[in-house]
């Protein structure tokens, strides 16, 4: 079935190429037939190298990873189309450039939505690594520092790629190779940008100004780019309400203009005693103050029928179930009595998008992950692996037994209550704020201690030394 689908896609690609490449003057990446500009050739080398290797290994892994890789490849091809366009056209206005970026931004959204729809996937870490870093394709809009932006997106993937390496290091080398191939795409892209687009996307100094309707370039050797989307439909005409005849209004306006100098004859003369800057007493007099004309605003369709209402995003149903060895707790709101009691050592718990809720995990469990939650309270007995808090806000975690490691990443507001037997717990944090650890006292109370957020780094002659900065005030 996969082979038939691949053959069908290739046939469609050939048909598109035959339709576009009618002659030597139509198909080509640059002014001279058969030779693409230098930075397009360099990007093609990236596609043929790290990107092709990533797609190849993803097909070997199969399943969701393969599907995701095809989406990423489509995004890279959309980016190549923009690069060829830039090599042949001058830089457009910001509004037109936003339109040209639309295919790339839409493909980024497709990649990220696939991860969100497959949170129960066994390859969720693979999907997350790609989903967190795919916005790097937007470097073309990041002027004047596109390279740091790509690096930041690459770093966002590291959290998940490290988990993949830890899980498969001694189990399946194919997944280790997958991580290396995927990360090399962004590493090579940074080097590519440094060489050809240091301060932003390089546009041609000659040729027409880029527009949405510009001809799309052909695909590089070995693949075919998808057909570009057509231009959006023209805006609907504004509804015309009953009122004065516009032609009559125009006639009256031109009649006034044609008066020449007599057009000012009807204006009233303002003497010095009526001017506030020459007669300050006028400022102290009461009465309404006249303001100037209001700024122009687009006319509202007063005679329109039923106004369109914004549709709210679909609300996912709450979930608390055991799927294989994973407890899934998702989409709960104002639920204060969530309990997982029948636990085993090999099980993990994944808590996603819960708001203003409380979860208690009884017994001993392997790991707990809190993702994209707000105002969540977590109470658990024992965890033999790690407790992770990611992309969350205002989270409170209480350890009743033991836990070796607690990881806090991209979280604002996190309180960790340790038990006496968990005082040797390691707390690892990154890109987070307002973190506090509460240590139990002999009287049964807790002593609250803040986790440092500000650091000082100095060069000691041999290496960089980082220390916590005490904020005075």
Segment 41-50 shows an average pLDDT of 93
Q: How many CB atoms lie within 10 A of CB 439?
A: 15
The DSSP letter of residue 48 is I
pLDDT: which is higher, 460 or 244: 460
Report the distance separating Cα 329 and Cα 307, nearest Å.
38
Q: Describe the chain by its helix, strand, coil percentages, rounded to 5.
A: 40, 20, 40
pLDDT of res. 44: 93
- pLDDT greater than 70 at residue 459: yes
163 to each of 93, 178, 223, 258, 360, how far by Cα in Å? 43, 13, 32, 78, 25
Q: What is the pLDDT of residues 423-443, one digit of tens each?
A: 999 999 988 999 999 999 988
pLDDT of res. 327: 92
pLDDT of res. 22: 40
Query: Residue 301 contacts by C-beta under 8 Å, 6 or more apart in sequence?
Result: 238, 239
Segment 148-176 shows an average pLDDT of 90
pLDDT: which is higher, 469 or 218: 469
**Residue keyed to tokens 């590519």:** 192
- pLDDT greater than 70 at residue 364: yes
Instruction: Provide, rounded to the nearest whole percent, the portion of the chain with pLDDT above 90.
Output: 52
pLDDT band at 266 (very low <50, low <70, confident <90, very high): low
Phi and psi, residue 472, nearest 5°: -85, 150
- pLDDT greater than 60 at residue 421: yes
pLDDT: which is higher, 273 or 22: 273
pLDDT of res. 78: 93
Q: What is the mean pLDDT of the chain?
A: 80
Extract the tokens encoding 326. Answer: 């994973």
pTM more than 0.85: no
Segment 147-168 shows an average pLDDT of 90
pLDDT of res. 82: 92
Pick from 64-73, 212-221, 408-417: least confident: 212-221
pLDDT of res. 205: 87
Segment 218-239 shows an average pLDDT of 46
Segment 381-392 shows an average pLDDT of 93
pLDDT: which is higher, 195 or 211: 195
Report the distance separating Cα 454 and Cα 108, nearest Å.
33
Complete domains list, the chain, with CATH: 37-197 (1.25.40.330), 319-468 (2.160.20.70)
Q: How many CB atoms lie within 10 A of CB 231?
A: 10
49: burial class by Cβ within 10 Å (0-12, 13-18, 19+)? middle
| Interhelix angle 173-196/52-61, nearest 10 degrees | 160
Q: How many CB atoms lie within 10 A of CB 139?
A: 25
425 neighbors 446 (Cβ within 8 angstroms): no
Segment 303-313 shows an average pLDDT of 51
pLDDT of res. 236: 46
The DSSP secondary structure of 158-187, one letter per residue, reads: HHHHHHHHHHHTTT-HHHHHHHHHHHHHHH
pLDDT of res. 336: 86
pLDDT: which is higher, 230 or 323: 323
- For 418-429, b/e burial (b = at least 16 CB within 10 A) is bbeebeebebeb
- C-alpha count within 13 angstroms, C-beta hemisphere, residue 223: 18
pLDDT band at 249 (very low <50, low <70, confident <90, very high): low
pLDDT of res. 307: 47
Instruction: Provide, rounded to the nearest whole percent, the portion of the chain with pLDDT above 70.
Output: 70
Report the distance separating Cα 402 and Cα 380, nearest Å.
9
- pLDDT greater than 60 at residue 317: yes
Torsion sign (Cα): 471, 156, 377, 446: negative
pLDDT band at 11 (very low <50, low <70, confident <90, very high): low
The DSSP letter of residue 47 is I
Report the distance separating Cα 387 and Cα 428, nearest Å.
10
97 neighbors 215 (Cβ within 8 angstroms): no
């Amino acid at each position: 079935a996969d082979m038939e689908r691949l053959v069908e896609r290739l046939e469609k690609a050939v048909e598109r190429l035959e339709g576009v490449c009618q002659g030597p003057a139509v198909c080509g990446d640059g002014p001279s037939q058969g030779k693409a500009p230098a930075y397009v050739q360099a990007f093609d080398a990236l596609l043929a190298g790290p990107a092709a290797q990533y797609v190849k290994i993803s097909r070997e892994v199969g399943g969701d990873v393969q599907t995701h890789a095809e989406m990423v490849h489509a995004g890279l091809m959309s980016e190549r189309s923009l690069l060829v366009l830039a090599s042949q056209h001058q830089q457009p206005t910001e509004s037109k450039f936003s339109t040209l970026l639309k295919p790339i931004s839409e493909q980024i959204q497709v990649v990220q939505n696939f991860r969100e729809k497959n949170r129960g996937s066994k390859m969720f870490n693979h999907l997350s690594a790609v989903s967190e870093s795919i916005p790097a394709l937007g470097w073309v809009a990041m002027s004047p520092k596109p390279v740091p932006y790509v690096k930041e997106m690459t770093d966002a993937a590291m959290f998940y790629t490290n988990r993949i390496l830890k899980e498969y290091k001694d189990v399946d080398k194919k997944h280790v190779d997958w991580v290396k191939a995927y990360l090399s795409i962004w590493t090579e892209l940074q080097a590519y940008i440094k060489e050809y687009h240091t301060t932003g996307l390089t546009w041609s100094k000659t040729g027409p100004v880029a527009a949405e309707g510009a001809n799309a370039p052909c695909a590089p050797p070995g693949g075919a780019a998808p057909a570009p989307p057509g231009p959006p439909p023209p805006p609907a005409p504004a509804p015309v309400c009953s009122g004065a005849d516009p032609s009559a209004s125009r006639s009256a306006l031109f009649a006034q203009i044609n008066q020449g100098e007599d057009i000012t004859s009807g204006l009233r003369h303002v003497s010095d005693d009526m001017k506030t800057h020459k007669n300050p007493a006028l400022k102290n007099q009461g009465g309404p103050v006249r303001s100037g004309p209001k700024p122009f605003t687009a006319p509202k369709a007063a005679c329109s029928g039923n106004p369109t209402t914004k549709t709210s995003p679909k609300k996912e149903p709450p979930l608390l179930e055991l799927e294989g060895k994973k407890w899934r707790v998702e989409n709960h709101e104002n639920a204060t009595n969530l309990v997982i009691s029948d636990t085993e050592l090999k099980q993990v718990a994944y808590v996603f998008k819960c708001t203003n809720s409380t979860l208690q995990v009884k017994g001993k469990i392997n790991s707990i992950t809190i993702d994209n939650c707000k105002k969540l309270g977590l109470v658990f007995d024992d965890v033999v692996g790690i407790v992770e808090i990611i992309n969350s806000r205002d989270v409170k975690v209480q350890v009743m037994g033991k836990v070796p490691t607690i990881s806090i990443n991209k979280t604002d507001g996190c309180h960790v209550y340790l038990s006496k037997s968990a005082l040797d717990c390691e707390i690892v944090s990154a890109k987070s704020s307002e973190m506090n650890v509460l240590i139990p006292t002999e009287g049964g109370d807790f002593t609250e201690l803040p986790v440092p957020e500000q650091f000082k780094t100095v060069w000691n002659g041999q290496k960089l030394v980082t220390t916590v900065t005490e904020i005075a005030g």
